[in-house]
A and B are shown apart, each in its own frame.
Chain A
Amino acid sequence: DTGVSQNPRHKITKRGQNVTFRCDPISEHNRLYWYRQTLGQGPEFLTYFQNEAQLEKSRLLSDRFSAERPKGSFSTLEIQRTEQGDSAMYLCASSRAGKSNQPQHFGDGTRLSIL
């Protein structure tokens, strides 16, 4: 169990640029989640995958946000035309399928700063 890995750890970009983050889940976990955490707040759920299927995406903050998990392994979260308000920590988590009390294991997150 090598844990959930997220890259990059930090991303600084200018407003209007596109950014992409990567998440590698724990290898035997088929569920993968994305959250956003702003300063002083708890994480906010964005979307989740079971294998390669994106089963919930209505919580994505706008149509500038999209996520993929093409082969059911790693996932990417893309933000197009970034805005100041997108500055936040983006967290990825993974879990096994099955009972809903299967714990979600979180990565260290990617901190996005918009200049």
Chain B
Amino acid sequence: AQTVTQSQPEMSVQEAETVTLSCTYDTSESDYYLFWYKQPPSRQMILVIRQEAYKQQNATENRFSVNFQKAAKSFSLKISDSQLGDAAMYFCAYRRREGGGADGLTFGKGTHLIIQP
């Protein structure tokens, strides 16, 4: 079974600074997808960024970028120019490639990101 580990229960960063959230995963499969989701307090979970394992290029979405190290099974999220609206729980998630039965996401426990003004 796949597992996703987020070793940082909580991170704090000053507004406008850069922060990196860590994620490692364990899988025996070679083709899969990785995601970062954001869950603000009492609000719905939204997708921040996604990465396909067969792509070597790291994904980027505006201020959000990832460092995907397939051999190390590491998938960290970098947030540049942190804003107060970035404060939330951040979840790393894994999904196997199409096929087979289980098609749900496997999530880590999350990292609580605090933005200090």
Q: Tell whether A pairs with B.
A: yes
A22–B97 Cα distance when bound, in Å, is: 28
Chain B interface: which size bin? Answer: 20 to 34
Of A43, A58, A108, the contact of B43 (CB 8 Å cutoff): A108
Given the contacts A40-B109, A42-B91, A106-B45, A100 and B104 also touching, CB distance less than 8 Å: no
Q: Which residue of A lies closest to B4 (CB)?
A: A42
How far, in Å, is A106 (CB) from chain B's closest CB?
4
In the complex, are the beta carbons of B33 and A104 less than 8 A apart?
Answer: no
How far, in Å, is A55 (CB) from chain B's closest CB?
6
Is A107 part of the binding interface, using a Cβ–Cβ cutoff of 8 Å? yes
Is A31 part of the binding interface, using a Cβ–Cβ cutoff of 8 Å? yes
In the complex, are the beta carbons of A48 and B33 less than 8 A apart?
Answer: no
Q: Which residues of A contact B11 (CB under 8 A)?
A: none
How many contacts A-B (CB < 8 Å)?
68
Of B46, B97, B107, the contact of A100 (CB 8 Å cutoff): B97
* Interface residues of A, dominant DSSP: loop
A109–B43 Cα distance when bound, in Å, is: 9
In the complex, are the beta carbons of B109 and A41 less than 8 A apart?
Answer: yes
How far, in Å, is A14 (CB) from chain B's closest CB?
25
In the complex, are the beta carbons of A104 and B101 less than 8 A apart?
Answer: no
Q: Which residue of B lies closest to A55 (CB)?
A: B101
Q: Which residues of A contact B45 (CB under 8 A)?
A: 43, 91, 106
In the complex, are the beta carbons of A35 and B50 less than 8 A apart?
Answer: no
A105–B45 Cα distance when bound, in Å, is: 8
A70–B104 Cα distance when bound, in Å, is: 20
In the complex, are the beta carbons of B109 and A45 less than 8 A apart?
Answer: no
Q: Which residue of B lies closest to A99 (CB)?
A: B98
How far, in Å, is A40 (CB) from chain B's closest CB?
7
In the complex, are the beta carbons of A44 and B107 less than 8 A apart?
Answer: yes
Is B44 part of the binding interface, using a Cβ–Cβ cutoff of 8 Å? yes
| Contact residues, A40-59 vs B (CB, 8 A) | 40-48, 55-56, 58-59
Is A62 part of the binding interface, using a Cβ–Cβ cutoff of 8 Å? no
In the complex, are the beta carbons of A55 and B109 less than 8 A apart?
Answer: no
In the complex, are the beta carbons of A42 and B110 less than 8 A apart?
Answer: yes
Using a CB–CB distance below 8 Å, which chain A residues touch chain B?
3-4, 31, 33, 35, 40-48, 55-56, 58-59, 91, 99-101, 103-109
